[in-house]
């Protein structure tokens, strides 16, 4: 199966300036695996490659497997509405964008649904103007409305989530969502043609669950029509009661932190997947020429797909590199290392610079703690998406 960097060389031939920017960020994420893992007295900003901006806790969908808003998600109802009162303004973000622009990193704007963040358009425009690589991950339901501005403002990449062809997708992501996305693709492509623009790169992200794994090729086929430039199959983040309990105890003991977020991924949508069938489907997809790269994360050996879904206690990647090269800024300004598990707070960008936080005492405490773990990973991180993307491949997987 393809690996995560296969998109960069292809991009170089088509969009040199953008590829160079992407390469600079990716290179640091890749190098982080091989460089010493300092936990004290080192300027970690030299290694920073990627910063996530989780712009809002709100979303207009309830995708079943979603760790935030799915069957076990906590960003729901009144809690999410109360949290939304804490979101940062565009003015709050400006200093951190100015600071991060110096490091030429990749930024990734997400949520919740980023198009529900009221200042998304001025913020993304400002980031592009500052020279950052700006990628946005969206459910695509509002894409049609914003297509013109997105192309005009030259966003680098837009990753749109689709989990299957129409009916199956809608059973996971909500009625009508597929057709909304398709209208968004059409509007985006129309606008790109009208302006003769190659911005943004258009990507599709598919999260594999027991609900959609049999229908992946039908989706890939349908995407042929829409000038997709990369299609990513994310094998999904899952956990179980025992792993959540272990992580809860560990984080309390070692980092005085009460965890809330991991439970959102304890959904059971990993169960009952016929691993051989899924492997064959993915292989067929990877063998065909779709005109754009197909990337599976994590890329696994065939017999390990069963382990990935059925034996959640077995690590498939280890030695997490996230605390050395990545961070997530939450909607309220709190900075975390783990984008999907914003429990351990490193600091808040309203009170400190990003650099002070990333090199701060709490950040180094986290690094020291993870360095001391067997396999360089906490007990709850076994299927963490960030670790699947950039963690160390365990022999045999």
Ligand X SMILES: C[S@@+](CC[C@H](N)C(=O)[O-])C[C@H]1O[C@@H](n2cnc3c(N)ncnc32)[C@H](O)[C@@H]1O
Q: Site residues (CB under 6 A) for ligand SF4?
A: 59, 61-63, 66, 68-69, 111-113, 139, 161, 173
Q: Is 384 exposed, middle or buried (0-12, 13-18, 19+ CB in 10 A)?
A: buried
Q: Tell me if 110 contacts ligand X by CB under 6 A.
A: yes
5-44 mask for ligand X (x: CB under 6 A)? Answer: ----------------------------------------
Interface with ligand X in residues 202-221 (CB under 6 A): 205, 207
Q: Who contacts 47 (Cβ-Cβ below 8 Å, separation ≥6)?
A: 28, 31, 32, 35, 324, 325
**Contact string (CB under 6 A) for ligand X, positions 51-80, x = contact:** --------x---x-xxxx------------
| Surface-to-core class of residue 322, CB atoms within 10 Å of its CB (0-12 exposed, 13-18 middle, 19+ buried) | buried
* Contact code string over 167-206 relative to ligand X, x by CB under 6 A: --------------------------------------x-
How many Cα atoms are found within 13 Å in the side-chain-facing hemisphere of 232?
22
Task: Please give the structure tokens belonging to residue 339.
Answer: 């984008």
Question: Is there binding between residue 296 and ligand X (CB under 6 A)?
Answer: no
Secondary structure string (H, E, C) spanning 143-198:
HHHHHHHHHHCCCCEEEEECCCCHHHHHHHHCCCHHHHHHHHHHHHHHHHHHHCCC
Return the one option of ligand SF4, ligand X, none that residue 237 interacts with (CB less than 5 to 8 A, by type). ligand X
Query: Taking CA 26 as the corner, what is the angle to CA 21 and CA 27, rounded to the nearest 5 degrees?
Result: 100
Looking at 103, 233, 341, 385, which residue binds ligand X (CB under 6 A)?
A: 385
Residue closer to ligand X by CB (options 58, 357) is: 58
- Which residue(s) pair with 107 in the sheet? 51, 134
Contact track, ligand X, 258-277, x by CB under 6 A? -------x------------
Q: How far is CA 372 from the centre of its chain?
A: 26
| Min CB(236)–ligand X separation in Å | 4
User: How many beta carbons lie within 10 A of that of residue 346, not counting itself?
Assistant: 25
62 makes contact, choosing from ligand X, ligand SF4, none, with CB < 5 to 8 Å by partner type, with ligand SF4
Give me the residues that bind ligand X (CB under 6 A), please. Answer: 59, 63, 65-68, 110-111, 113, 137-139, 161, 205, 207, 234, 236-237, 265, 385
């Amino acid at each position: 199966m393809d690996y995560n960097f296969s998109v960069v060389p292809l991009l170089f031939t088509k969009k040199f300036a953008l590829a160079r920017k992407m390469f600079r960020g990716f290179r640091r994420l890749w190098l982080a695996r091989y460089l010493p893992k300092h936990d004290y007295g080192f300027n970690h900003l030299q290694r920073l490659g990627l910063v996530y901006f989780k712009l809002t806790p709100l979303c207009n969908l309830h995708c079943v497997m979603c760790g935030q808003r799915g069957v076990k998600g906590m960003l729901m109802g009144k809690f999410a509405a109360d949290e939304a009162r804490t979101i940062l303004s565009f003015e709050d973000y400006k200093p951190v964008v100015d600071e991060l622009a110096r490091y030429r990193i990749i930024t990734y704007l997400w949520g919740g649904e980023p198009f529900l963040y009221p200042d998304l358009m001025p913020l993304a425009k400002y980031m592009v103007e500052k020279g950052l690589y700006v990628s946005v991950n969206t459910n695509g339901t509002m894409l049609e409305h914003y297509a013109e501005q997105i192309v005009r403002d030259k966003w680098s990449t837009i990753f749109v989530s689709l989990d299957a062809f129409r009916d199956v997708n809608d059973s996971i992501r909500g009625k009508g969502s597929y057709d909304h996305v398709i209208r968004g693709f059409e509007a985006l492509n129309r606008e790109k043609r009208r302006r003769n623009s190659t911005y943004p790169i258009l990507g599709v992200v598919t999260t594999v669950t027991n609900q959609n794994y049999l229908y992946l090729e039908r989706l890939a086929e349908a995407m042929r029509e829409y000038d997709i430039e990369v299609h990513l199959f994310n094998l999904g983040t899952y956990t179980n009661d025992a792993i959540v309990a272990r992580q809860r105890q560990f984080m309390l003991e070692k980092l005085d932190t009460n965890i809330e977020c991991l439970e959102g991924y304890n959904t059971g949508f990993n169960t009952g997947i016929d691993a051989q069938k899924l492997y064959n489907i993915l292989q067929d997809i990877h063998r065909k020429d779709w005109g754009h790269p197909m990337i599976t994360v994590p890329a696994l050996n065939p017999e390990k797909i069963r382990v990935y879904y059925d034996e959640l206690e077995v690590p498939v990647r280890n030695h997490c590199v996230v605390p050395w090269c990545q961070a997530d800024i939450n909607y309220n300004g709190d900075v975390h290392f783990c984008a999907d598990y914003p429990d351990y707070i490193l600091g808040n960008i309203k009170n400190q610079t990003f650099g002070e936080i990333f090199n701060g005492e709490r950040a180094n405490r986290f690094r020291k703690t993870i360095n001391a773990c067997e396999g360089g990973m906490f007990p709850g991180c076994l299927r963490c998406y960030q670790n699947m993307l950039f963690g160390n491949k365990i022999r045999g997987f």
